[in-house]
Amino acid sequence: MVPDVSTGERTRGLLAYLFGPGRRDEHTDPHIVAAFALPGLPDPGRLALSERQDALTDLAKYLDQPVRVREQRTGKKVPQYVWHCPVRTAPGDHYLTDEEWAEVARRVVEATGIAPRDDDSGCRWIAVRHAGDHIHIMATSVREDGRRPNTHRDGARAQKACREIEKEFGLRQLKSGDMTAPENPTSAERAKADRMGAAVTSREWLRDQAYAVLASARSEEEFFTVLSTLGIKAKKRIGPQTGEVTGYSLAAPGDTNTAGEPVYFSGSTLAPDLSLNRIREVLTTQQAAGYPVARPRPENPWAHAYEALHDTATVLDSGDDAAAQAHLAALGDLLHTAARSALPDTRAELRAAAAEFNRARRSVIRADHISAAAMRATAKNLVHAPSDPGGLAVAVIFALLQLAIAAAHWYEQRGYQQQAAAAHATVTHLRAGYQQAAAPVLADLAHRTPRPEIAQRFETAVRQTIPDQADRILTDPAWPALATTLAQAETAGHHVPNLLRQVAAGRELDSAQSPAEVINWRLTATPNRRAQAAQARSTTAGGTPAASAHVQASRPAAAPDRRTPRRS
């Protein structure tokens, strides 16, 4: 059950909408189901159409009476006094009767401070039903005694009341909010997207594009420049006294109003952490931590990404919530840039995972962004990574999957239900993306399994070094692939028993569905010791350092996804 509180200044205009046909003739049988003084209150919905307009005017004047009295007494206009709260059941919920909706309305106006229980001086309000799955509660927010009601945090209070109603009425129990969710598209925006043949509304498309561009941008100027290459119009707000940019709005390509003008959405209405102040906070703290605007060195960013994900997992276990929240926000950036650089077959799932995690990355915990500066720099460097058809990119996707699971658990422990739900949705897409990426790599490794006597030697090493998990590892379908990876590690200069002890000492294997895959990707991300030694010798001799195990030449930054909403 979803409430959505807003305010305005036109009682008569809102009544005309509530008792009218709707924007697409979707209003059927509009009528009052509850009110502050239901007996004797005229119901325009039960009158003939010829009488309805006069009745709406009379009802508006009646609801506005306390407002007018206050204005006469104070000599000041009451601002934003029309309080409006639609309440909608979730798809699949059972049908509620008028009596049940009336109880919902009374509970909501009581919880929000519009009409407290046993208070005869509360605000005047009505609840109108014009569809099977929702009602609209409207009130004039001046009490009968002339005071303004206490509606502080009325949206959160309405949410809490709806969570209780869901339990009592046997409805689908939605996640509690914490006021960090972005504004949802309006019904008019959704209808417009449908007419234009777009899969999502302009608001939603702009939000995803802004997050993706910010993930790779190293400065405010670059952020707006890249947005413009996508065909997105940016309008900056200039402070009248300072002349400095104080905010911005974006318009999607081809999205115009009836006058042919671009439809703009401010950054803060796209998402709370896309406001200009929040964007600047992230960019400046990264530079303050010693990560200036610069292009990456010619090293393989996939290796750095794997290390950064390991560090983030450690931070989640540290108990420092401010640092953990910053790392989770940076994880959102890494998901976006990984989606840009991954193999084409996996990009769709990774993009979907990044879009889902956009909701998980925000909570009421104030993030210590400077602590995650290295993680954000790693995310930006990943834009320049080769797609890496080998195993290292798959190891990063696997690490992303494991970290998303840890993020869901982290949020659940702290009671942030919406973030946990978004993290779980992220896990679903990452798991699908991982399976697509891992299947051919594991199959190739299994096809190249070493000779039986060598595989037997590795089996003995597993039983000696990881006895508690040996049976699970050796019967795992991924064991042949792991045997090949162990052979490669031995060739790279590692002592296999010591290496197995090292990787098994990481995060526990008990809960892993495939412990052989976990160990395989940990080994894949382990540096090549022989290459490191050669590099050290070359550096000592005064020559140019040799390439390390995972070093590959960087390529130019990948162009952002230029797809725009489908519009006719």
Q: For residue 56, is pLDDT > 80?
A: yes
Ramachandran angles phi, psi of 554, nearest 5°:
-80, 160
Mean pLDDT on 354-368: 93
Task: Tell which residue, 398, 380, 394, 405, has the closest CA to residue 328.
Answer: 405
- Within 10 Å of residue 98's Cβ, how many Cβ atoms? 14
Crossing angle for the helix pair 391-413 and 301-316, to the nearest 10 degrees? 20
Residue 292 pLDDT exceeds 70: no
Q: How confident is the model at residue 535 (pLDDT cuts 50, 70, 90)?
A: low
Tens digit of each residue's pLDDT (9 = 90 or more) over 20-46: 887 666 788 999 999 998 777 889 998
Question: Per-residue pLDDT for 296 more than 50?
Answer: no
Residue 538 — pLDDT band, cuts 50, 70, 90?
A: low
- 122 in Cβ contact with 66 (< 8 Å): no
What is the predicted pLDDT for the residue at 440?
94
Please check the confidence at residue 480 and state whether its pLDDT lies above 60: yes
Contact 41, 35 (CB under 8 A): yes
Angstrom distance (rounded) from CA 209 to CA 357: 14
Q: What is the strand order of the sheet 233-238 is part of? A: 233-238, 245-256, 262-266
Q: pLDDT tier at 539 (50, 70, 90 boundaries)?
A: low
Indicate whether 557 pLDDT > 90: no
Give the least confident one: 242-246, 392-396, 534-538. 534-538
Region 491-501 average pLDDT: 93
Q: What is the pLDDT of residue 567?
A: 38
Instruction: Look at the chain and count its residues.
Output: 568
Q: In angstroms, rounded to a whole number, what is the distance separating the alpha carbons of residues 226 and 218? A: 11
Helices (H), 248-300: 267-270, 276-288
Supply the pLDDT for residue 64.
97
Whether pLDDT at 448 is above 60 = yes
The lowest-confidence range among 14-23, 205-214, 216-225, 369-378 is 14-23
Q: How confident is the model at residue 85 (pLDDT cuts 50, 70, 90)?
A: very high
pLDDT at 1: 87
Is residue 303 within 8 Å of 547, Cβ to Cβ? no
Chain center to CA of 515 = 30
pLDDT above 90: percentage of residues in the chain = 69
Average pLDDT, integer, range 269-279: 93
Residue 542, pLDDT above cutoff 60: no
256 forms beta bridges with 262
Average pLDDT of 513-532? 88
User: Which pTM was predicted?
Assistant: 0.72
CA gyration radius for the chain? 29
Q: How far is CA 41 from the centre of its chain?
A: 45
**Would you give the DSSP letter of residue 77?**
P
pLDDT of residue 294: 45
Give residue 288's pLDDT: 62
Least confident of 165-174, 424-433, 545-554: 545-554
Reported as a single tens digit per residue, the pLDDT across 133-147 is: 999 999 999 999 999
Which has the minimum average pLDDT: 245-259, 291-305, 366-380, 483-497?
291-305
Residue 402's closest CA among 503, 313, 481?
313
Token pair for 314: 């450690």
Mean pLDDT of the chain: 88
Taking phi over 0 as left and psi of -120 to 50 as alpha, with beta for the rest, 552 belongs to beta
Strands (E), 377-491: none
Contact yes or no for 209/395 (Cβ under 8 A): no
Identify the CA nearest to 144 among candidates 162, 165, 123, 129.
123
For the stretch 369-399, pLDDT in tens is 999 999 999 999 998 888 776 789 999 999 9
> Residue 362: CA atoms inside 13 Å, Cβ hemisphere, count?
19
In angstroms, rounded to a whole number, what is the distance separating the alpha carbons of residues 145 and 119?
11
Q: Position 269: which residue type?
A: T
Q: Please measure the distance between the N-terminal and C-terminal CA atoms of the chain and give it in whole angstroms.
A: 35
Cα–Cα distances in Å, from 406 out to 326, 328, 433, 521? 15, 10, 18, 18
The domain spans of the chain are 2-169, 197-288, 296-437+552-559
CATH of range 2-169; options 3.40.50, 3.40.1000, 1.10.3470, 3.30.930 = 3.30.930
| Helix residue ranges, H only, 414-551 | 417-447, 452-465, 470-474, 479-491, 496-504, 515-524, 529-540
Which whole number is the average pLDDT over 543-555?
38
Helical (H) or strand (E) element with 25: none
Calpha distance 48→471 (Å, rounded): 79
> Above pLDDT 70, what percent of the chain?
90
Q: Which of 31-45, 118-132, 271-285, 549-563 has the lowest mean pLDDT?
A: 549-563
User: Could you give the CA distance from residue 189 to residue 405 in angstroms, rounded to a whole number?
Assistant: 33
Q: How far apart are CA 319 and CA 334, in angstroms?
A: 22
- Bridge partners, residue 249, by sequence: 235, 266
Asked if 32 and 20 touch (Cβ cutoff 8 Å), the reply is no
pLDDT at residue 178, rounded to an integer:
64
For residue 4, give every residue at least 6 positions away whose Cβ sits within 8 Å of its Cβ, in sequence order, or none: 85, 86, 87, 88, 155, 184
